[in-house]
Structure 1
Amino acid sequence: MATLSSSPPPSTLPSSAANSKTPHLKPPLLFFPKPLATALTTSLATSALILTSPPSSIASSTYNIYYGTAASAANYGGYGGNSDKKASAEYVYDVPEGWKERLVSKVEKGTNGTDSEFYNPKKRQEKEYLTFLAGFRQLAPKDVILNNLALSDVELQDLIAGADSLVSEEKKDEDGQIYYVYEIDGIGKHSLISVTCAKNKLYAHFVNAPAPEWKRDEDILRHVHESFKTVG
């Protein structure tokens, strides 16, 4: 660190200057007018706020509502393409600002029922998606439902097989509709799942994140998970 000096070293002074007696002068006192002192205080406080603010991913509270139509594979590409998706929506959920939509293929929709998917472009494994199956009038027992979902989802099979913990519970919304809620803590990955039946269909909403992203974005991911519901 550089050291500030108010005078050159004694060895560089002329002999006459070294022997002369120079009176010791006290530095003048500096006074700031009140507006300047207030400005400095405000500036320091602002700097402290900037330094202590959480990462943008945590501080973010902006979401967009996604309206899902749960169209069959036969109607995919036409149904809802030119129609008002909000008016024809069968379910909704929140999507964090900045996440991107992955377009689901007609083949994928027909094989495993995936209807919609969004992901964090900074970490594609951090995502949410919804699958649906037709022909379900009511929910089966919780363990049966989860095992049936895993039949067409290899990632879910692996997550369940290597889970450190798996918690499930049953909830009801204000209209009395039942939702099964699962939370799976696996090897390096966390998953939140919400399942319900409506309109003779079974809807399953998934929120997945690798362990580091789960620890960082837990509040956001739980909000996204809890935002899912059927409509209409």
Structure 2
Amino acid sequence: MATLSSSPSPSILSSSTANPKTPSLKPPLLFFPKPLTTALTTALATTTLLLTSPPSSIASDAYNVYYGTAASAANYGGYGGNSDKKASAEYVYDVPDGWKERLVSKVEKGTNGTDSEFYNPKKRQEKEYLTFLAGFRQLAPKDVILNNLALSDVELQDLIAGADSLVSEEKKDENGQLYYVYEIDGIGKHSLIAVTCAKNKLYAHFVNAPAPEWKRDEDTLRHIHESFKTVGSS
């Protein structure tokens, strides 16, 4: 009778002592057939790309700096000309890449003080613009300033009249210059406004958007709102 042994067979422990006539056990395959290896390599490469490349929805926004001269209607010599706007700028703000400039007429500049305006061509009501008024040495109280701005801006009048909320605050830049900041949440529309005085002028920068665009582009709109500042000596 055969005897069962608990010790492994020598032929399994070492291939050198295996009986040539007895097939030795081969270790399991540690490689893949070529087609599978190629497929796995491709999958790993794709996974690496997905992990190292930013998702398209998080692509960084690009902005262009606009240099505004705040020229009076009498000295408004056209659109651009040969002057160096950067050297003569009185204020700056960022414009999202792809936004279009709306050229302001002399009549408009003379009546409501609009100096510059840009808009999103995909939704023209999503825009930013700047108005200025001469003869202001310092800012009046916040509510007075906002009401005075609304006198020449019908859209602002309507927005204030139907506002669900209106928040205002004072801020100072690194040079100690005072800015009034307003945020108005109206019926179907949102507005961010920054107002300051410099060079004996009052500057008001507006960022407006319909409610759907505000919800979608809030980060961009807040960025361009916060980018506004006056430049040069006061």
TM-score (norm 1): 0.78
Q: Which has the larger radius of gyration?
A: 2
Deviations 1:188-207 (Å, cap 9, x if unpaired)? Answer: 00000000000000000000
- Residues 9/38 of structure 1: CA separation in 2 closer, same or farther (3 Å cut): same
Q: Is the 8 A contact 1:71 1:79 kept in 2?
A: no
Q: Is the 8 A contact 1:99 1:120 kept in 2?
A: yes
- Residues 110/36 of structure 1: CA separation in 2 closer, same or farther (3 Å cut): farther
- Residues 111/19 of structure 1: CA separation in 2 closer, same or farther (3 Å cut): farther
Deviations 1:82-101 (Å, cap 9, x if unpaired)? Answer: 11000000000000000000
Give 5+ residue unaligned stretches, structure 1.
none
Q: Is the 8 A contact 2:132 2:201 kept in 1?
A: yes
- Residues 82/193 of structure 1: CA separation in 2 closer, same or farther (3 Å cut): same
- Residues 107/218 of structure 1: CA separation in 2 closer, same or farther (3 Å cut): same
Per-residue deviation at 1:60?
Answer: 4.0
Deviations 1:185-231 (Å, cap 9, x if unpaired)? Answer: 00000000000000000000000000000000000000000000000
Per-residue deviation at 1:50?
Answer: 7.9
Per-residue deviation at 1:149?
Answer: 0.2
Q: Is the 8 A contact 1:100 1:120 kept in 2?
A: yes
Deviations 1:155-201 (Å, cap 9, x if unpaired)? Answer: 00000000000000000000000000000000000000000000000
Query: Could you tell me how far apart the structure 2 residues matched to 1:16 and 1:229 are?
Result: 85
- Deviation larger for 81-90 or 44-53: 44-53
Q: Is the 8 A contact 1:58 1:216 kept in 2?
A: no
Q: Is the 8 A contact 1:73 1:109 kept in 2?
A: yes
Query: Could you tell me how far apart the structure 1 residues matched to 2:2 and 2:178 are?
Result: 69
Q: Which runs of 4+ in 1 moved over 3 A?
A: 1-60
- Deviation larger for 10-19 or 173-182: 10-19
Specify the SS of the correspondent of 1:37.
Answer: helix
Per-residue deviation at 1:15?
Answer: 49
Percent sequence identity is: 91
Per-residue deviation at 1:61?
Answer: 1.6
- Deviation larger for 54-63 or 207-216: 54-63
Q: Is the 8 A contact 1:58 1:217 kept in 2?
A: no
- Residues 39/21 of structure 1: CA separation in 2 closer, same or farther (3 Å cut): closer
Matched positions, count: 232
Specify the SS of the correspondent of 2:74.
Answer: coil
Specify the SS of the correspondent of 1:74.
Answer: helix
- Residues 26/12 of structure 1: CA separation in 2 closer, same or farther (3 Å cut): closer
- The equivalent residue for 2:157 is 157
RMSD of equivalent CA atoms: 10.5
- Residues 57/193 of structure 1: CA separation in 2 closer, same or farther (3 Å cut): farther
